[in-house]
Amino acid sequence: AASFAVAAPMSAFAQKKIVVGFSQIGAESEWRTANTNSMKTAAAAAGIELKFSDAQQKQENQIKALRSFIAQKVDVIALTPVVESGWDTVLKEIKDAKIPLILMDRSVDSKDTSLYATHIGFDFVKEGEMAGQWLVEKAKTMKGDINVVELQGTVGSAPAIDRKKGFEAAIKAEPRIKIIRSQTGDFTRAKGKEVMEAFLKAEGKKINVLYAHNDDMGIGAIQAIEEAGLKPAKDILVISVDGVKGAFEAMIAGKLNVTVECSPLLGPLVMSTAKDLAAGKTVPRSLIGKDGVYPMETAAKEFPSRQY
């Protein structure tokens, strides 16, 4: 049998695997599932050991997970903070433990930006603006007041705050556009449907437009609109954010007017950044990607190339 003369134990050459602790929010949407898959696949491809923790939408669970990553002495931590506020204490603990921190997708409102190495994600204000600009353009073909109901994301989350802000800024260009009701639908289909039912009950045919902070709530609301005997995308225009496959299917079916893209496929960039940080390299303070707007007219053509 063949044998090899080994001069030194193999372990002397074996490279230590980088360990990344990742605190994910949960699985509230199609987007979030795609994001989790992207992180897991990219970690495996990069030869990184990923310690994955699902917080079930609770900040306290995320804080516990972060403390356990510190105790386990992981090389890098990735965090998608469910809400913007209340992170300073635990982020300081991470900094004191000298573990580089990557904020992925959502960010925090901490004044001390030295608490994290980088933020990798998208500009949520811009996404809200693009949604509003689409409506301002569409308003040119509409008569009279344009009454909007808004389904907000999770209360206190960066995308809910920023997508609201961006949309409100953009619709100022057309004074006929007014937000008549605005409530959280927690970024889920079920809650989006439930809140839309309440909006329809309260405002009925006064509603001209639904603006949902994500596709899942938009899709849930479409069901509510249909059950109320109205035609989504016709009687009530529907605008949402994310660009998931479900939204493209709804557009192809003629039920959703437009989706603003926000890619969940951040895994590869997070993993290459984690490798750089583990090697002691400096990385850009923020890596913010570019989004696109996909109106229903382009949906069938775009669908085959959509990756999430």
| Sheet with 286-289: strands ordered across | 49-54, 19-24, 76-79, 101-104, 118-122, 286-289
Burial of 237 (0-12, 13-18, 19+ CB in 10 A): buried
218 is an interface residue for ligand AHR by CB under 6 A: no
What are 256's two structure tokens? 């959703």
106 binds ligand AHR, rule: CB under 6 A: yes
Assess 241 for contact with ligand AHR (CB under 6 A): yes
Comparing C-alpha atoms, which of 155, 190, 147 is closest to residue 28?
190
**Cβ distance 224 to 197 under 8 Å?**
yes
Cβ atoms within 10 Å, residue 267:
25
Residue 214 interacting with ligand AHR (CB under 6 A): yes
Q: Is 242 in the site for ligand AHR (CB under 6 A)?
A: yes
29 binds ligand AHR (CB under 6 A): yes
Nearer to ligand AHR, 208 or 257 (CB): 257
- State the minimum distance, in angstroms, from the CB of residue 229 to ligand AHR: 28
DSSP assignment string, 194-234: HHHHHHHHHHGGG--EEEESSHHHHHHHHHHHHHTT--BTT
* Residue of the chain from 105, 150, 162, 194 that contacts ligand AHR (CB under 6 A): 105
What span, in angstroms and rounded, lies between the C-alpha atoms of 43 and 270?
A: 9
Q: Does 32 bind ligand AHR (CB under 6 A)?
A: yes
As measured in angstroms, the least distance from the Cβ of 214 to ligand AHR is 4
Residue 28 binds ligand AHR (CB under 6 A)? yes
* Apex 170 CA angle, 220 and 260, nearest 5: 40
Taking CB under 6 A as the criterion, the residue among 262, 266, 278, 296 binding ligand AHR is 262
Measured from the CB of residue 257, what is the shortest distance to ligand AHR in angstroms?
17
Q: What's the rounded Cα separation, in Å, for the pair 203 and 201?
A: 6
119 binds ligand AHR (CB under 6 A): no
Q: Judged by CB under 6 A, does residue 225 bind ligand AHR?
A: no
* Residue 275 binds ligand AHR (CB under 6 A): no
Note the residues at the interface with ligand AHR (CB under 6 A): 28-29, 31-32, 105-106, 159, 187, 214, 216, 241-242, 262
